[in-house]
Homo-oligomer: A and B are copies of this chain.
């Protein structure tokens, strides 16, 4: 019997953002693997075994999924957001490359999901409506100097920007350093957007001019967006402002 691994994106939290393709994969699975709060989003049923695991064990979790698949199980690795954006897809493929040769024969599929930056963007308008970049601010996986270099080059390119993992408990100083680099490199008062618990009932969206941003404004449940030099704010009387980055730049 030949097993499979599906790496599925659950979106940012609201079940109305889970694609039918992912829902169907969950319905066919024999085993669900993932970080505890993501596995908790999958309903228990007979024939399904849940394997929640702690954060920061992505490679162990990936190897476990591949081992079960090679025993004939149909494993779904659940990921928040989109599995290809700072999530489980790259981890599973890293485990495949460095693991058992037979793992390369496993049927592996990746199912996209709504990633946090796009849900956050939609919640406040279209701040990523022009060329943009996505940067993981955690320096667990790369040197801080590289992050700072990317921030400065992204500002020079006048990209709108999205930042994942802005501020961890273990390294809270990183976000403050990123903000300082951005304030220097951008040199203006473009809006920074703090989207916390995006798509969930307790979602909050805060829009703050870049010069007024302080490091305590983000935590690990926040995705942070930054406009480019052209980003516009539309004030409204009866609702929160809308924010968008124009599609065009004058020649």
Contact = CB atoms under 8 A, between A and B. Distances in A.
A15 B136 CA distance: 31
A46 interface: no
A247 interface: yes
A239 to B, nearest CB: 8
Given A234-B97, A247-B94, A131 B150 contact: yes
Nearest to A15: B20
Interface string A74-91: 000000001111100111
B126 A236 contact: no
Contacts of A111: 122
A131 B122 contact: no
Interface in A37-88: 58, 82-86
Contacts of A236: 104-105
Contacts of A247: 58, 86, 90-91, 94, 141
A114 B17 CA distance: 10
Contacts of A128: 84-85, 134
A105 B91 CA distance: 45
Given A142-B251, A159-B133, A246 B90 contact: yes
Contact of A153 (B14, B134, B157, B249): B157
A116 to B, nearest CB: 10
Interface of chain A, main secondary structure:
mixed
B82 A118 contact: yes
- For chain A, which range describes its interface: under 10, 10 to 19, 20 to 34, or 35 or more residues? 35 or more
Nearest to A154: B157
B136 A90 contact: no
Nearest to A132: B134
A89 B130 CA distance: 11
Nearest to A233: B97
Ranked 4 nearest A-B pairs via Cβ: A90-B129, A89-B126, A133-B133, A143-B251
Given A14-B21, A104-B236, A150-B157, 14 more contacts: A17-B21, A82-B122, A84-B127, A90-B126, A90-B130, A90-B245, A93-B126, A93-B242, A94-B246, A105-B238, A105-B239, A112-B119, A132-B133, A141-B248
Interface of A: 11, 14-21, 24, 58, 82-86, 89-91, 93-94, 96-97, 104-105, 107-108, 110-115, 118-119, 121-123, 125-136, 141-143, 146, 149-150, 153-154, 156-159, 232, 234-239, 242, 244-249, 251
